[in-house]
Structure formats: C-alpha cells, structure tokens
C-alpha cells in the first residue's frame, strides 16, 4: 500500500482517471475499488461489477483492468479511494488516491474600488470580483503596457493597489481566478486612460472606498 495517497483533482460533471503505476505485464485476474471502507466496484473475468448505486453508469475500466475512469463527477465523489489489483501470477498491487472534486470557477470581472488622479499620477484600487460564492479560490494578477507581454503582479489576493506615473497610464490589467481543477480570466481592462485630471481629483467606483496604502509602484 502506498504510504501517501496520490492527489487527484476533478471538476463537477467532468471525469477523472485513477491509474496505478503497474510494473508487471501479467494479465489482471481481479480488481477491487473502494471509497473509504466501502467497495464500489470489482473487475473479474474482464467483467466490471458496480456495487454502489451512486456510481452506476459512471464507471469505466481502462487498460485491461489497470485503471478506472469516474465520469459525471459530483462533490460527493471526493474522498480516499483504494485499489487492489491481483495479477495472473498471484502478485498484488495496492494503491490509493485522494480525490477532490471542485466546482467550476465563475468568470471574474475587475471592479474599481477607488481611483485618485493628478496630472502626473493615477492611484487605483482594483478588486477581482466573481458573481457567486465559490470556495477554494485563489487570485493572481497580470499587467502589461501597450503590446508588451503580460507580467505577473506580485499580489496573491483579490484586491490590488497601484500607483502609476503618467507614462504608465496605458497599463492593461488582467485577473485570474483558479482552484486546483479550473481557472477563468477576466477581460483585459484599463483604468487610468480616461478623463485625465486637470487638477487633483478623486473618482469613486463601485464598492466601498478605502484609504489607499500603496503596496507597489509600477513605472
């Protein structure tokens, strides 16, 4: 038995394959798949038998019994899976998997929390917003000037604060929301190019206005 289960990530309504690393070429005699302590399926004489009703119609044996595909994943499929494969030479292979099924990531958008302009500077707070409450999400940001390549912005949270000099007002910003199984990008957006301040001015976007404490300066 493997000491540490192999981590597998899946997405709702998609499929995953649990495939042990098999060193022998001997044919498979029989296979037993368990979820936690419950046997969910067996494979004997080239015949798959699904034991647990919640898996019926969703399991498929691959590679002559050496792998299992689980289709139409649900959140309830998450858990520890164990397999014992017995080969025709009576040797055994044990393996385990820690499957986590995630919800699809919703498409994010970038909201302006606060923006302050002078004739030389644009100070802006941006939030990466999603339309639904979804767990286990992480946020990353990218930016670029003109036709240059995107660069990573060193801030892992859903909100960033930037202080831009005039020559950087064409900055295009992108936020990426992801979990271990899926990711979505916002549409590219620019925030400092319009309505240049003739004098010091503050514009309020959607959301609560916060006092800017600039974490970085990008020139």
Taking a C-beta distance cutoff of 8 angstroms, is the pair 168, 190 a contact?
no
118 and 96: one domain? no
User: Last residue of some domain: 57, 85, 102?
Assistant: 102
Name the token pair of 188: 């590219």
49 and 86: one domain? yes
Residue 198: pLDDT above 80? no
**Higher-scoring residue by pLDDT: 146, 60:** 60
pLDDT value of position 3: 60
Residue 1 falls inside a structural domain: no
Q: What is the DSSP string of 160-193?
A: EEEEEEGGGTTEEEEEEEEETTEEEEPPPB--SS
CATH of the domain at 23: 2.60.40.10
Instruction: Tell me how far apart the alpha carbons of residues 34 and 18 are, in angstroms, rounded to a whole number.
Output: 12
47 and 117: one domain? no
Residue with tokens 């930016």: 143
120 and 75: one domain? no
Chain-centroid distance, C-alpha 32: 30
Instruction: Tell me how far apart the alpha carbons of residues 109 and 128 are, in angstroms, rounded to a whole number.
Output: 6
Chain-centroid distance, C-alpha 201: 39
**Higher-scoring residue by pLDDT: 156, 70:** 70
Residue 201: pLDDT above 50? no
203 and 113: one domain? yes
Q: What is the pTM of this model?
A: 0.78
211 and 193: one domain? yes
Task: Tell me the per-residue pLDDT of 78-121, one tens digit each, with 9 for 90 and over.
Answer: 999 999 999 999 999 999 999 999 999 999 999 999 999 888 89
Residue 59 falls inside a structural domain: yes
Strand partners, 28: 87
CB atoms within 10 A of CB 181: 20
214 and 145: one domain? yes
94 and 114: one domain? no
Residue 153 falls inside a structural domain: yes
Residue 166 falls inside a structural domain: yes
pLDDT value of position 4: 84
Residue with tokens 């995630």: 102
Whole-number average pLDDT of the chain? 85
Angle value at C-alpha 15, between 4 and 100, nearest 5 degrees: 40
Residue 211: pLDDT above 80? no
Name the token pair of 18: 């649990």
Residue range of the domain that includes 169: 109-218
Task: Tell me the per-residue pLDDT of 3-25, one tens digit each, with 9 for 90 and over.
Answer: 689 999 999 999 999 998 888 88
pLDDT value of position 170: 87
Domain count along the chain: 2
Instruction: Tell me how far apart the alpha carbons of residues 107 and 178 are, in angstroms, rounded to a whole number.
Output: 10
Q: What's the Cα-to-Cα distance from 202 to each of 75, 91, 125, 138, 148, rounded to whole Å?
A: 46, 73, 12, 30, 29
Of the candidates 105, 83, 91, which has an alpha carbon nearest to the alpha carbon of residue 14?
A: 105
98 and 119: one domain? no
94 and 119: one domain? no
Name the token pair of 219: 């020139």
User: Last residue of some domain: 45, 73, 102?
Assistant: 102
Name the token pair of 186: 């916002």
Strand-strand pairing, 151-153 and 159-165: unpaired
pLDDT value of position 148: 86
User: Last residue of some domain: 55, 70, 102?
Assistant: 102
């Amino acid at each position: 038995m493997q000491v540490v289960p192999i981590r597998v990530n899946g997405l709702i309504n998609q499929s995953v394959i649990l495939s042990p690393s098999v060193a022998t070429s001997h044919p498979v005699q029989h296979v037993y798949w368990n979820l936690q302590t419950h046997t969910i399926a067996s494979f004997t004489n080239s015949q798959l038998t699904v034991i647990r009703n919640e898996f019926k119609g969703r399991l498929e044996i691959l590679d002559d019994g050496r792998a299992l595909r689980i289709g139409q994943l649900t959140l309830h499929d998450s858990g520890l899976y164990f397999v014992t494969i017995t080969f025709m030479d009576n040797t055994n292979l044990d393996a385990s998997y820690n499957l986590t099924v995630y919800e699809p990531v919703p498409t994010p958008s970038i909201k302006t929390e606060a923006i302050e302009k002078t004739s030389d500077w644009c100070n802006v707070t941006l939030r990466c917003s999603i339309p639904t409450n979804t767990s286990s999400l992480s946020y990353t940001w990218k930016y670029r000037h003109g036709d240059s390549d995107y660069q990573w912005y060193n801030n892992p949270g859903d909100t960033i604060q930037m202080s831009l000099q005039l020559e950087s007002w064409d900055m295009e910003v992108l936020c990426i929301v992801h979990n271990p199984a899926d990711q979505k990008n916002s549409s590219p957006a620019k925030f400092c190019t319009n309505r240049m301040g003739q004098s010091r001015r503050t514009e309020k976007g959607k959301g609560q206005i916060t006092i800017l404490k600039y974490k970085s300066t990008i020139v």
